[in-house]
Amino acid sequence: MYKHILFATDLADDTDFILNKVTGIRGYTGATLTIVHVVEPMPGYSYAYLGIEDIEGQLIEEARTALGKLGSKLHVDVKDQIIEVGPTKSKLLKVADDISADLIICGSHGRHGLSLLLGSTANAILHGAKCDVLTVRLPEE
């Protein structure tokens, strides 16, 4: 049975649909739950172009606020709410290794064809993880 679940979130698709799956599996297994969100780094030229000095810092603060709300909703302690900055796939897989996760849960939009070949995060996690991965197909809008 699972002992430590890592819920990888982009903080945009956290509908009750996926949260019900996360809480259901956590309740069934009694596992510890850690939530992770990765902020993709902004290219250096984007700061000048957008006229914002610390856009990355602003993104991290917004993520911290949103992750805190999600953590409260899922009853996850602040110490188990992680924000990373960098390439999503490698950061998620590193966190999974660091916390010895035995299950990663993430959402997937179920895209097909070229978009799948060109780099779905869920697909990258699935093929790079050392543990089980549950991709929850998100409802189409």
Which residues lie below 8 Å from residue 128, measured CB to CB, with a gap of 6+? Answer: 89, 93
The residue segments making up the domain with residue 88 are 4-137
CATH assignment of the domain containing 14: 3.40.50.620
- pLDDT score at 52: 55
In the chain, the number of structural domains is 1
* pTM given for the model: 0.85
The residues of the chain scoring below 70 in pLDDT are 13-14, 42-54, 109-119, 140-141
